[in-house]
């Protein structure tokens, strides 16, 4: 809907109180719930409408209050909406019989591209767009946000990997004396390596479980917070089984890899050096 068909707070309340007898020429309007709350409007109230603040010419009656469909594109815009019957709005704007666009529903099975081609051929001066193209175009903002989130995720993963490797090295090195004694008594390198790797894997699994739990809690908190903040029913954080699977797999991989690096380094250090005498 173009901006010329959006009316953003361009009217003032003319009257409230008892429901007036509807006059035949007063158009009925539907008001979005947030606007109704903001202006304390109820069904039956009369309002003035206009296309400019200095020309509130038309009296209209609130016939419905509706819940706006959650739309991410409207999230940060402090806009409120009313709906009018098309002829009423056209008359209000002084542009009868003009619209910005048509919405077209095709008979099931009709290829969209064929319909687009035919429309453009037959309706001179018009452009036809598949809804999917419009959706794609209007979701560019969110694609940018997604890319940003992905970049942050990559940086976080890199930081976590470094952190993990560092901690693993430290923790494994703490056991250098134990490793030295084991080597002295004849325990094979691969046994020590396997034990350390198993430990790393167990820690990684436990960490993944805890992390998944934390993510679910954080996601729920994020959704609760932003739904309240933006007064919307949109979902902001969505944790799917696929995301959980990917995250767990990645953390397991990183944890085991870090453990493997640390363990490899330990078992390939001479026992006397581990003992502190080398």
Partner 1 sequence: MTGVIWGLKNLARQPLRTGLSLIGIAVAAAMLLDMVMLSGGIDQSFSDLLLRRGFQMRLTPKGTLPFDTEATIGGVSEIVAALRRDPAVAAAGAVLGTSVYGRTPDSLVTLFGYGIEPEAQSLYEVTGGQDLTSGDSSGVVLSEAAARLLGASVGDTVTLVGRLDPQVVTAAVGRRLVVRGLVRWLYDYRGQPSVGTVLPLMQSLSRQAAADRASLILVKARDDRAVPQLADRLRQRFPQVEVNSVADLVAHFRERLVYFRQLSYILGSMSLIVAVLLIATLLTITVNERLGEIATLRAIGVSRATVVAQVLAEGTTLTLIGAVLGIALGLVTARYLDAILTSFPGLPAAFSFFVPRADTLAFAALVLLVTGALAGLYPAWLASRAPIAATLRAEAT
- Sites of contact with partner 1 (CB under 8 A): 2-4, 6, 8-10, 52-54, 76-78, 124-126, 140-141, 144, 147-148, 151-152, 155-156, 158-159, 162-163, 165-167, 169-171, 173-174, 226, 229
CB of 123 to partner 1, least distance (A): 8
CB of 144 to partner 1, least distance (A): 5
Closest CB to partner 1 among residues 170, 217: 170
Closest CB to partner 1 among residues 63, 232: 232
CB of 141 to partner 1, least distance (A): 6
Closest CB to partner 1 among residues 2, 25: 2
Closest CB to partner 1 among residues 117, 136: 136
Across the chain, which distance is largest between two alpha carbons, in Å?
102
C-alpha to C-alpha distance for 256 and 208, rounded to whole angstroms: 12
CB of 19 to partner 1, least distance (A): 28
Closest CB to partner 1 among residues 65, 169: 169
Distances in whole angstroms, Cα of residue 65 to Cα of each of 6, 57, 148:
17, 22, 37
CB atoms within 10 A of CB 185: 7
**Torsion-angle region of 84 (φ positive above 0: left; ψ -120 to 50: alpha; else: beta):** beta
CB of 175 to partner 1, least distance (A): 11
Q: What is the DSSP string of 162-193?
A: HHHHHHHHHHHHTTHHHHHHHHHTT--HHHHH
Distances in whole angstroms, Cα of residue 235 to Cα of each of 65, 70, 107, 221, 227:
23, 9, 32, 11, 8
């Amino acid at each position: 809907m173009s901006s010329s068909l959006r009316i953003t707070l361009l009217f003032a309340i003319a009257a409230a109180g008892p429901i007036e007898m509807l006059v035949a020429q007063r158009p009925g309007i539907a008001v979005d719930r947030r606007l109704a709350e903001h202006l304390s409007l109820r069904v039956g109230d009369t309002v003035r409408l206009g296309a400019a603040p200095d020309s509130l010419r038309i009296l209209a009656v609130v016939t419905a209050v509706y819940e706006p469909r959650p739309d991410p594109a409207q999230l940060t815009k402090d806009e409120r909406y009313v709906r009018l019957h098309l002829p009423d709005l056209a008359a209000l704007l002084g542009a009868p019989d003009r619209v910005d666009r048509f919405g077209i529903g095709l008979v099931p099975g009709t290829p969209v591209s064929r319909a687009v081609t035919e429309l453009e051929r037959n309706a001179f001066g018009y452009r036809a767009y598949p809804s999917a193209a419009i959706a794609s175009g209007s979701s560019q903002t969110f694609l940018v946000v997604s890319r940003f989130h992905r970049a942050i995720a990559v940086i976080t993963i890199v930081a976590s990997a470094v952190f993990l490797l560092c901690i693993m090295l430290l923790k494994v090195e703490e056991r250098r004396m134990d490793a030295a004694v084991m080597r002295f008594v004849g325990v094979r390198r691969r046994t020590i390596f396997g034990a350390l790797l198993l430990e790393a894997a167990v820690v990684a699994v436990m960490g993944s479980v805890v992390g998944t739990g934390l993510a679910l809690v954080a996601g729920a908190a994020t959704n609760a917070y932003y739904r309240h903040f933006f007064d919307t029913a949109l979902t902001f954080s969505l944790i799917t089984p696929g995301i959980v699977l990917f995250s767990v797999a990645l953390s397991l991989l990183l944890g085991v890899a870090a453990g493997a690096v640390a363990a490899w380094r330990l078992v390939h250090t001479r026992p006397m050096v581990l003992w502190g005498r080398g």
